[in-house]
Structure 1
Amino acid sequence: MKKIYLAGPGVFRADCAAWGERLKAACSANGLEGLYPLDGEIPAGLTEVAEKRFWIFANNCALIRQADAVFADLRAFRSTSEPDSGTAFEVGFAHALSKPVWLWLPDCEAGIELRQRVPCRQTPAGWIDADGMNVEDFAAPLNLMLWEAAAGVSYQNEPEAALHEMAQQLLADLTNRPDPTLVSRET
């Protein structure tokens, strides 16, 4: 069974435990095992904030290492367009480990570009935001580094539908791989 790390700002929800169970149930319904960042409990002996912070970091990195792929909820979080920075880190970490990353953008539609999500205006030099910073125009709804790390993307409103799409793609990828026993080797 493929293990899927469930990254996203859901860990900040008031119902974060229930949200995690919902995501894991959606994985299970599709023949996947969901790994949720809140699955582990901070050991009782850790009393310092820095110790707890490091434990959470190390535990999440360990879960990503165990995973076969990552499902990343990259909805806008605390802004109009940017995802949770912790989730962005997890996408990069997973990509560096050669894990496929599936982006979930429930607050976006296919074909929307970043300049349509960020309040900006067009100038002769390009698109700029209210602070005078350039808004990239690479025909993607996210920063190009996140977008290019993606093995797939879903715009579904509900996680169950998005995880189903991911599961179907993972199954197709496994089905389309050549059988290593049939590959001839030159000697």
Structure 2
Amino acid sequence: MTARIYLAGPEVFLPDARRLGEAKRALCGAHGMVGVFPLDGEIDLGGLSPRAQGRAIYQADVAMMRRCDLIIANLTPFRGPSADVGTTFELGFMTALGKPALAYSNCARNFTDRLSAADPRGAHRRADGQLADGNGLAIEEFDMFDNLMLHGALGEGDLFLHQAAAGEDYTDLTAFETCVKAARRLFP
């Protein structure tokens, strides 16, 4: 059986998303697996309202995930200190289906540090000792890569961190290839 890997991540928003999808699929192929990139599907969006287009894309992506054997999710922070919300949904969806999940990030800083640095009013310790943001809301201190529910969805050793060079947050495939090699061990 040739494993089919759903390739989740914010790369779909890049101007050259299809090229990056091809590069990811090529790496999967080099390791004897099939990569399935969210933009692979041909969806006719003509004549649909923007909302109907979004629903059609959602339905096509869910159908793709159901046909895959596992997911590799790019959890590199996107538009803020946390992973792309669509990618986190896809990771949760595949996990709920009982399919193996691997993930990577091209940012090696932990969640607590990223949240603290992102708050323009500054993180501080409340009187109860809890680290908090400028609104007084608790900041997680679990030594995890992202929110505990996201990180907790992954098994120990299923998250690969790499610090990409500036400007290569979404295009550096070093950690992605490490995930592909780990997937090969799951599907020999």
Q: Give the structure-2-normalised TM-score.
A: 0.82
Match of 2:110 among 113, 117, 120: 113
Identity %: 31
- C-alpha distance in structure 1 between counterparts of 2:35 and 2:187, whole Å: 18
Give the direction of change, closer, same or farther, for the CA distance of 1:161–1:32 in structure 2 (3 Å limit).
Answer: farther
The aligned residue for residue 88 of structure 1 is: 88
- Once the two structures are TM-superposed, the CA of residue 45 in structure 1 deviates from its matched residue by 4.7
- The secondary structure found in structure 2 opposite 1:118 is helix
CA RMSD of aligned residues (A): 1.8
Give the direction of change, closer, same or farther, for the CA distance of 1:5–1:93 in structure 2 (3 Å limit).
Answer: same
In structure 1, stretches of 5+ residues that fail to align are: 176-187
Question: Does 2:147 correspond to 1:147?
Answer: no
- The secondary structure found in structure 2 opposite 1:132 is coil
- Once the two structures are TM-superposed, the CA of residue 89 in structure 1 deviates from its matched residue by 0.6
In structure 2, stretches of 5+ residues that fail to align are: 117-122, 165-170
The aligned residue for residue 126 of structure 2 is: 123
State the one-letter code of the partner of 1:86. G
- C-alpha distance in structure 1 between counterparts of 2:140 and 2:133, whole Å: 10
Deviations 1:79-126 (A, max 9, x none): 1x2111111111110110011111111111xxx532111122333431
The aligned residue for residue 183 of structure 2 is: 170
- The secondary structure found in structure 1 opposite 2:73 is strand
For residues 28-67 of structure 1, the aligned pairs below 5 Å read 28-43=29-44, 45-67=46-68
The aligned residue for residue 97 of structure 1 is: 97
- Once the two structures are TM-superposed, the CA of residue 63 in structure 1 deviates from its matched residue by 1.0
Give the direction of change, closer, same or farther, for the CA distance of 1:159–1:94 in structure 2 (3 Å limit).
Answer: farther
- C-alpha distance in structure 2 between counterparts of 1:104 and 1:20, whole Å: 16
- The secondary structure found in structure 2 opposite 1:77 is coil
The structure whose RCO (Cα within 8 Å, separation 6+) is larger is 2
- C-alpha distance in structure 1 between counterparts of 2:46 and 2:14, whole Å: 26
Count of residue pairs brought into register by the alignment = 171
